[in-house]
Structure 1
Amino acid sequence: MAVQLWETLKEAIVAYTGLTPATFFTLLALLLAVYYVVSGLFGSSPDHHRRRHIEEEEIPPLRPPVQLGEITAEELKAYDGSDPEKPLLMAIKGQIYDVSQSRMFYGPGGPYALFAGKDASRALAKMSFEEKDLTGDVSGLGPFELDALQDWEYKFMSKYVKVGTVKSEVPVTKPESTGEPSESTPRDVDAAKPTEDGPSGIAAAKSDEIPSKVDADKE
């Protein structure tokens, strides 16, 4: 009976698939193997759900951005990601943005971590990772570098929230004043006094030197 069923099955496989029984069962085994592999990768086993739930609990939710107003470059360094209680900030062209949502890039250990807590305008324009370029000074940059910096600014404006500005540290020069009265030189004092040889003095001298017309007639 079993032999007859096997013979009938082989004839059916050949008739409906056009394959030999050996080829048919080989393909069937491969399909089953692929099915188990795919279900293992994308399956929803209880352990998978439990592990994902634990990972979500370990990642703290992002806090809403806090407006800081105007701060100095030195104060900005405190927001480089080293303190998990503080937001992760970065500035470009003097504008400070909250990049906490991209901590994997700008946070500690990230590929752009050295930009965090700084105005990295020059470094972004030049795509430089050198310490000397981690500044907001963009003087001397070429047109292509300025265009690249502009693209970075557009990206930050569209993706992150602006939370403040970097205070300019350019010193304001004032005229020096000692508060003491200036000393006048003797020449200045003499110049300030009314001269005795002024118009009236000259006229008096001339009147003494030139004889009057009356005296001339007497002679």
Structure 2
Amino acid sequence: MAKAHAEWEARQKERAEKLARGEAVGPEEPDPTAEPEVGCLGLLKFVLYTLIFVVLAGKFLTGSYLWEMEVPDIRQWIPTDQKLFSEQALLSYDGSVEGRPVYLAIDGDVYDVTAGKATYGPGGSYHMMAGKDAARAYATGCFAQHQTYDIRGLDENELRGLNHWKKFYAESKKYPKVGRVSHPPIDPMSPIPVHCDAKKAKKQSEGQKAVKKAAAAAAAKREEDAHSEL
């Protein structure tokens, strides 16, 4: 192979001399010992060079290698050591224990809000939401009265409000999800939390009375039908 390359170099030198004298020469001969570039390899090199150019151009023009594009928070997709909290355990993460993170829950999902300790920690405007699942308060705005995960009886607007806050925490880069909180089941016959707004509370009460009346009528009808079959 070395001999072939040396012979090719000699022919190249002879060709160059002829060109210098103005003599006619044939097409340039490729090096017979050179490894031919594989098509896929050439394509990969082109893509790599293009990518490097785009990244450097972004840094030069915008000051950002990613052209100021927002990068999704990959923490949302990386499996982590998600914990299952009891209500009592979650309560110990309300910010009152020095050195312990601040957690809150909404509709069962627990988030680490330590980055917003000025807001959720002791003395913060939303400290009452820390260490518990106050999903109903997010929906109704009754922060003092609705410190509960009971979301029965919410109207469409309130459900939209709850979903807004659930989405806010789920998509937040600042407050990562750390687990779930386990709640005891709610007795369906227990009273629904009274709304802090007097008008809504009255409407809620009337609605519950109508539901109970309809349930009682249905029960009486079933009992009557059962007796008639005897």
TM (normalized to structure 2)? 0.44
Structure 1 or 2, whichever has the larger Rg, is 1
